[in-house]
A = this chain, B = another copy of it.
Amino acid sequence: MTIELYDLAGAEDERRFSPNCWRVTLALAHKGLDCRRIPWRFTEKQAIAFSGQGAVPVLVDEGEVVADSWRIALHLDRKYRREPLISGEHARGAIFALKNWLERAVHPAVLKVIVLDLYSHLHEKDKAYFRESREKRFGMTLEAFAAGESAAIVALRQALDPVRPVLSEQRFLGGAAPSFADYLLFGPFQWARVMSPKRLLDPEDPIFAWRERMLDLHGGLARAALGYPVWA
């Protein structure tokens, strides 16, 4: 039975932009598992109501429903022991902290740079929902939130300081090969790449070279995605 993943899409079915869904797409590839990625939009809450909540990713694996990318990663490691995403208890706690840090420090910094491009690539039926929910969250219009782009890029690069020394020393956060930590960090970059032509990183940045390695993984899965391929 094929694994199914409900996966956030933009205007086109093939524009898959959610950072949290990309974590799972790459985690499945890491394990060598096939999956059917079902395009889903923010306003299609009914389509995933069976999961008991309203956000993607939602994974359906032989009838078992798992929502939330962190819980999905733990599920995959429990059920499919080969090629661990998170190897050992010491890794689990530290990668969970890394996830929380990324969502608080890095995702918002990326969103500030790309939000208007992102909005322009949403499906028409999602635009009002996105604008209203995000403007409520930010306490300002999308346009006001997006103001000051060059300062936002500087802030993003600074927000990435904790991982830069790691990627100067080793090929992946996981060491010689990627762990789930790499997929977590890659999520916001792929989010940007699919939705925006903005250049987030200096090509001299060790994170830039790491991102190239991530794009090459699993047969160039992320590189092949519909988006803005030129980043140099």
What is the interface of chain A, defined by CB distance below 8 A to chain B?
Answer: 84, 86-98, 100-101, 104-105, 161-166, 169-170, 172-176, 179-181
15 contacts between A and B (CB under 8 A): A87-B90, A87-B91, A89-B174, A90-B95, A90-B175, A91-B94, A94-B94, A94-B95, A94-B97, A94-B98, A94-B179, A97-B163, A97-B173, A97-B181, A100-B163
Whether A162 contacts B93 in the complex (CB less than 8 A), given A87-B88, A88-B88, comes out as: no
Question: Nearest chain B CB to A16's CB is how many angstroms away?
Answer: 26
* Interface residue from B93, B161, B164, B170 paired with A93 (Cβ < 8 Å): B170
B residues in contact with A181, CB < 8 Å: 90, 93-94, 97
Q: How far is the CA of A87 from the CA of B87 in the complex (A)?
A: 9
A158's nearest neighbour on chain B, judged by CB, is: B104
Q: How far is the CA of A87 from the CA of B93 in the complex (A)?
A: 12
B residues in contact with A87, CB < 8 Å: 88-91
